[in-house]
Amino acid sequence: MITDIESATPALCRLHLGNELRHLRQKAGLTSTQVVKKLYWSPSKLTRLETGENSVVEPVDVMALCQIYGADEEKTELLKGYAAVTKRKRDWWQSTEYRPVITPGFRAYLGLEATAVALHNYESEFVPGLLQTEAYVRATHQSAHQGLSEEEIARMVAVRMTRQEALRREAPLKFAAIMSEAVLHRQVGGPETMRAQLAHIVEVAALPNVRVQVVPFKAGAHPGMNGAFHTLQFHDREALKPIIYFENLADAWVSRRQSDVELHEETFSELQAIALGPQESLSMIKKAMKEL
């Protein structure tokens, strides 16, 4: 539950609202299909509400659901308050500057990342996004998204840079990043850009809320070889369960399935065990800088 709704972000309100609505529906013994038939809604509308993906939630929709679920007056007013925040405020990624270059799947992730208290990220091909420099971001997008205009690429770079503010906000995101040694030797943007990128990783790793590790080639086969992933954890683990995020060239999506969450949390723990420790990892990064 949010103790101060007025100061809460729309993203946090949407997540709590969706979680509360899902629990109320389940407590009432109703399926999603039964609910949407009663309200003449599309199935996707209820799904978006329960997963916090709508940018704006109408209080009248919340009232209709609470009536069907038999929610008491106090609970109904609380949930209407959450919805009201989404109508009064906008998250930064909802601005006209950023919306054109943010896919629906990635937009959903940004809301999760903005409200998470901890983020674990394994990367095998790229420097983790929250550790990337502007030049590195630009070079990766120019390669992966050929055909985009310079203006579109500039917006994508701005999105990445704005996301990184989470590491230095008032209650900073606890960020643990693990990357393959291959990431250190892939010269994205050329030697100068890569040298500056590695130096930036060393700088950010000095923050008390950031932990960086490298999986060396000598570790051999490991569970991270199946691909990159993010796990997000929230302040109230019972109310908001951890979530897994994946992305590829075409799209981005999240999974709330408990089996997926447990698998990837276990995998990240295994990667932490086989990776070099933070100090050894920084030494490897500095060595890679010198080789450039």
Over the stretch 45-56, which tens digit does the pLDDT of each residue have? 999 899 888 888
Q: How much is the pLDDT for 61?
A: 95
Give mean pLDDT, residues 256-278.
Answer: 95
Contact yes or no for 121/130 (Cβ under 8 A): yes
| DSSP line for 30-45 | --HHHHHHHHT--HHH
The CA distance from 200 to 103, in Å, is: 28
The β-bridge partners of 91 are none
The CA distance from 42 to 72, in Å, is: 26
| Rounded percentage of the chain residues whose pLDDT exceeds 90 | 66
Report CA torsion sign: 146, 151, 154, 155: negative
Q: Which stretch of 80-89, 211-220, 264-273 has the lowest confidence by average pLDDT?
A: 80-89
Predicted confidence (pLDDT) per residue in 170-212, tens digit:
889 999 999 999 999 999 999 999 999 999 999 999 999 999 9
Name which residue leads in pLDDT, 277 or 253: 277
| Coil, strand or helix at 92 | helix
Give mean pLDDT, residues 237-245.
Answer: 81
Give mean pLDDT, residues 260-288.
Answer: 97
Angle, helix 10-27 to helix 59-69, in steps of 10 degrees: 20
Full set of structural domains in the chain with CATH: 5-90 (1.10.260.40), 95-291 (3.30.870)
User: Of the candidates 247, 248, 228, 261, which has an alpha carbon nearest to the alpha carbon of residue 127?
Assistant: 228
Give mean pLDDT, residues 245-255.
Answer: 80
Contact yes or no for 257/198 (Cβ under 8 A): no
The CA distance from 273 to 70, in Å, is: 48
Instruction: Reply yes or no on whether the pLDDT at 262 is more than 90.
Output: yes
Angle, helix 43-51 to helix 10-27, in steps of 10 degrees: 120
| DSSP line for 176-240 | EEEEEHHHHHS-TT-HHHHHHHHHHHHHHTTSTTEEEEEE-GGG-S-GGGG--EEEEE-SSTTTS
The residue to which tokens 């919306």 are assigned: 99
Predicted confidence (pLDDT) per residue in 9-28, tens digit:
888 888 889 989 999 999 99
- pLDDT band with cut points at 50, 70 and 90 for residue 1: low
Instruction: Reply yes or no on whether the pLDDT at 155 is more than 70.
Output: yes
Instruction: Reply yes or no on whether the pLDDT at 238 is more than 70.
Output: no
pTM: 0.80
